[in-house]
Amino acid sequence: MNLILSKNIMLGNAVPDNNIKGLFGGVYRNRRVLVTGHTGFKGSWLCKWLEILGAKVVGYALRPVTTPNHFDLSHLKLKAYFEDVRDYPTVKKVFSEFEPEIVFHLAAQPCVLASYDNPLQTFSTNIMGSVNILEASRHTNSVKAVVVVTTDKVYKNNEWIYGYRETDTIGGHDPYSSSKACAELITESYRKSYSESSNNEVLIASARAGNVIGGGDWTENRIITDVIKAATKGEKVFLRNPKSSRPWQHVLEALSGYLLLGQKLHQNILSAADSWNFGPALESNLDVGELVYQMKKKWGKISWENEMNANAAYESKALMVDSSKANNLLGWRPVWDIEKTIHHTVDWYRKHLEESRVITEEQIENYIAEAKVNNCIWAI
């Protein structure tokens, strides 16, 4: 196995204090937490937040596929296994050695367009990878909570003007969306077959966020990545679907939902073992062209041109999720509106590009401070 012990270099402010470690009911303090996909965009942000919360983190994922990437820039303090989630014997070995108490499964092939090019990899990673994590979890006595992260794209998209709820039909036109919908079915099967029938020794839930943005994402064919790359080179970005709307939210919004869900599961709150939407408020749904226009107001170097291709691979035109269930039953709600989301996203890249600074930890602390002011349930 490829095991790396990453050493943390503290960025920004001081080492987290006990008050911060007490967030989410103090559940994560000194807790053994396994994060798959820790080298990815969301996974590396999640690991940094868990580090701040005082968790003992182990990561399991392939090595980063881009240079630069948020994982390398974050200098995380964790055990990092660079392995394939499709390799069940290795997955099981890591579970047996580390004995995690909470598992966040984020490892995936995460891109729609890439899924058209390589459907076999997409289906095998997103389906069998999920099976392997759930199977290893049920055979590891220490595991008490599993959060399987999917996507807002799991729903059968009818191009509705209102948000999808957890009870709506799942589906998926492209291989990525379809594979994630399959992951939802697999998660439900494991929950009903093994969790609910085994005195709830391990509680399992799935989480569906919106279109997550924020600093540190350099994944191909993502709008923020494309905009930043073009601006850095002094070039225009070409928008293939400027009128398509998405539920944009900062990465920390999604992660606060995952962490709250993990807390409830570990506290053995049986009703939390379900599927949950963690999307933004309705006003955060912007079309791609408007998003880029708002980004330009924060950084004048950004410019764009519409370049629609009638022969391009299918991508949904409208998508939004309804988070009323999480709002009412978990007490979760967003902290940053769309204006702050765009501001913090652009600010992260500008600080990195113009000042060679990585402000991830600073932004997490700012987010926590605003959540406290707003009396968010996990920050009280």
Structurally, what CATH architecture does the domain formed by 3-19+27-210+249-283+319-337 represent? 3-Layer(aba) Sandwich (3.40)
Check whether 198 has a pLDDT greater than 70.
no
- CA–CA distance, 187 with 201 (Å, rounded to integer): 16
Interior CA angle at 125 toward 124 and 130, to 5°? 105
Strand, helix or coil at 327?
helix
CA distance 2 to 80: 8
The dihedral through the CA atoms of 222, 7, 77, 99 has a sign that is: positive
Bridge partners of 204? 146
pLDDT single digits (tens) 106-150: 999 999 999 999 999 999 999 999 999 999 999 999 999 999 999
Q: Among positive and negative, which fits the CA dihedral 229, 232, 235, 237?
A: positive
More confidently predicted of 173 and 349: 349
Judged by DSSP in three states, 368 sits in helix
Query: Does position 9 have pLDDT exceeding 70, yes or no?
Result: no
- 197: pLDDT strictly greater than 70: no
Q: Could you tell me which of 213, 252, 215, 212 has the C-alpha nearest to residue 359?
A: 215
70-100: string of b/e by CB count within 10 Å (b at 16+)? bbbbbbbbbbbbbbbbbbbebbeebbeebeb
pLDDT tens sequence across 150-174: 999 999 999 888 999 999 999 989 9
Percentage of the chain modeled with pLDDT above 90: 86
Closest CA to 352 of 299, 284, 311, 305: 299
Determine the pLDDT at residue 11: 33
Torsion of CA 119, 188, 44, 359, to 10 degrees: 120
For residue 343, give Cα distances in angstroms to 68, 83, 291, 294, 339: 21, 35, 11, 9, 6
Query: Euclidean distance between the first and final Cα of the chain, in Å?
Result: 41
Residue ranges covered by each domain of the chain: 3-19+27-210+249-283+319-337
Closest by CA to 79, choosing from 47, 40, 46, is: 47
Give the residue among 161, 347, 155 at the shortest CA–CA distance from 250: 347
Question: Is 36 within 8 Å of 43 (Cβ atoms)?
Answer: yes
Calpha distance 126→249 (Å, rounded): 23
Amino acid at 88: Y
- pLDDT at residue 18, rounded to an integer: 64
Q: How confident is the model at residue 226 (pLDDT cuts 50, 70, 90)?
A: very high
Distances (CA, A) of 294 to 86, 339, 347: 40, 8, 13
The whole-angstrom separation of Cα 107 and Cα 43 is 8
Considering the chain, what is the average pLDDT of its residues?
A: 93
d(CA 164, CA 166): 7
Two tokens, residue 115: 């899924």
Band (pLDDT 50/70/90 cuts) for residue 294 is very high
Mind listing the pLDDT tens digit for each residue in 58-104?
A: 999 999 999 999 999 999 999 999 999 999 999 999 999 999 999 99
